[in-house]
Amino acid sequence: MPEQEKDKVILVGVETEENFAIFDTSMDELRGLTKTADGEIVFILKQKRPQVDRQTILGKGKLAELKQLIDAYEANLVIFNHELTPRQGKILTEELGVRVLDRVQLILDIFAIRARSKEGKLQVSLAQLEYLLPRLTGMGASMSRLGGGIGTRGPGETKLEVDRRHIRNKITQIRNELKEVEQHRERTREQRKNKRVYQIGLIGYTNAGKSTIMNILTTANTYEQDQLFATLDPLTKKWRLPEGFEMTITDTVGFIQDLPTQLIDAFQSTLEESKSMDFLLHVVDAHAKDRLLHEKTVFDLMQQLEIIDTPVLTVYNKADLMKEEDFVPTLFPNVCISAKSSKGKEALIQAIKQQLMEQFEPYMVELADNQASEIYKYKRETIVTSQNYDESKRKYIICGFSPK
């Protein structure tokens, strides 16, 4: 089969009084998202206005300029850095004569590429269908189009009829399937809790390096790329400290500013994984120029998900890309590392151990000779800091820290 040509894309953004503080960051992100979705960016069109035009986002002059740019660059796709209303999408498609997407559809499309598990695929389909439902008018061409173009994966590939009732039925069916998957996930979660397995969750802005950290700690070989949303499905692996304490680490989907509401709703069960964790590693790209915005986005989403009481260690990653004196941490407790170096791995393990010991309760136990086999249990379920044998008492004396 011949390789499908990349879509030639023009990106469009309007800087307003409302979004000016994050406008440049947001446009950079849109560029990254488009590249992740394998689009070829041929031009980026920006406009400053007090507010977006209610019908066409752009003013008349800029809209005319956009039409000329589409012809000049032979673009076949325009992506707006705004969520378009059904009416705006329809008007713009008719005016421009090419496919028009918005930021939300682009993110949904990337999620469709990245989904690997049954649950991930179902959640993406649900989000796409709920987004499409009010936008069905005039979407016949793009919905029946087969293949890998941006914004056409998922429901488009199954040639869904443009029929509201059919889509509503499909939404109900997916929701029912998801309920079953969620119940299974809940059972697994309960089993881990009943076995008293200590659970660590990785959270952070997309592309901060969560999967890299998962890999250096557990050799899980998760998909690790300099791309937005490289990880979509949560992955849980066993991990143990050098002293023997066993726990699980779960890698989760990356957060992003303006994460579409549909995705927060659809991925609720996946994000719920973070809620059930005993401890969180918040991975931050220390080198990112908008680091503070990334940190704020993650904390806002954590509040939305009601994950505010779980202890957090901030892992400032990618320290190798900057000078030490240029970096001022804003979140505490923290550790600053390069996940790619062996020193970074050691520093991270020590920082995690230190934080766990601060949260755990110190203990000391004495075990008789015939209880020696218990030592292994203590090493597996607690952090053992010392183990001695008292000849006079003929007892093992174990000291350490135990989860509360």
Q: Report how far residue 241's alpha carbon sits from residue 245's, in angstroms, rounded to the nearest whole number.
A: 5
Per the annotation, does 46 bind a ligand? no
Q: Which CATH number fits domain 8-111: 3.40.50.11060, 3.40.50.800, 2.40.128.20, 3.30.460.80?
A: 3.40.50.11060
Q: Does the annotation list 330 as a binding residue?
A: no
Buried b (16+ CB within 10 A) or exposed e, 338-362: bbeeeebbebbbebbbebbeeebee
201 contacts: CB under 8 Å, gap ≥ 6: 249, 250, 252, 273, 274, 277, 279, 280, 281, 310
What is the structure's pLDDT at 241?
94
**Structure token pair of residue 384:** 């053992």
- Check the annotation: does 231 bind a ligand: yes
| Residue 158 is assigned to a ligand binding site | no
CA-angle at 312, arms to 308 and 318, nearest 5°:
130
Domain ranges of the chain: 8-111, 120-138+159-195, 196-359, 361-402
Residue 79 DSSP one-character state: E
For residue 288, what is the DSSP state?
-
Q: Is 233 annotated as a binding residue?
A: yes
Rounded distance, CA 124 to CA 155, Å?
10
> Prior bond to 403 cis, omega within 30?
no
pLDDT given for residue 27 in this prediction:
95
How high is the pLDDT of residue 149? 46
Residue 148 confidence (pLDDT): 40
Is 148 assigned to a binding site? Answer: no
The answer to whether 211 is a known ligand-binding residue is: yes
Task: Establish whether 338 is an annotated binding residue.
Answer: yes
CATH of domain 196-359: 3.40.50.300
388 is in an annotated binding site: no
| 85 annotated as ligand-binding | no
Q: Is 339 annotated as a binding residue?
A: yes
Instruction: Name the nearest CA neighbour of 205 among 268, 278, 262, 290.
Output: 290
In tens digits, what is the pLDDT along the chain, a chain of 404 residues? 445 688 999 999 999 999 998 999 999 999 999 998 889 999 999 999 999 999 999 999 999 999 999 999 999 999 999 999 999 999 999 999 999 999 989 988 888 877 777 887 888 888 888 888 887 754 544 443 333 445 555 554 444 455 778 888 999 999 999 888 888 877 877 777 777 889 999 999 988 888 889 888 987 565 555 555 545 556 788 999 999 999 999 887 777 777 777 777 766 666 677 788 899 999 999 998 889 999 998 888 888 878 888 999 999 998 888 877 778 899 999 999 988 888 899 999 999 999 999 999 999 999 998 998 899 999 999 999 999 999 998 999 999 999 98
320 marked ligand binding residue: yes
| Residue 201 assigned to a binding site | no
Residue 4: per-residue pLDDT: 66
The per-residue pLDDT for 137 is 55
Q: What is the pLDDT of residue 275?
A: 80
- Res 256: pLDDT: 77
319 marked as binding residue:
yes
Q: Establish whether 370 is an annotated binding residue.
A: no
The pTM for the full model equals 0.79
Whole-number Å distance between alpha carbons of 321 and 309: 32
User: Is 253 labeled as ligand-binding?
Assistant: yes
120 is in an annotated binding site: no
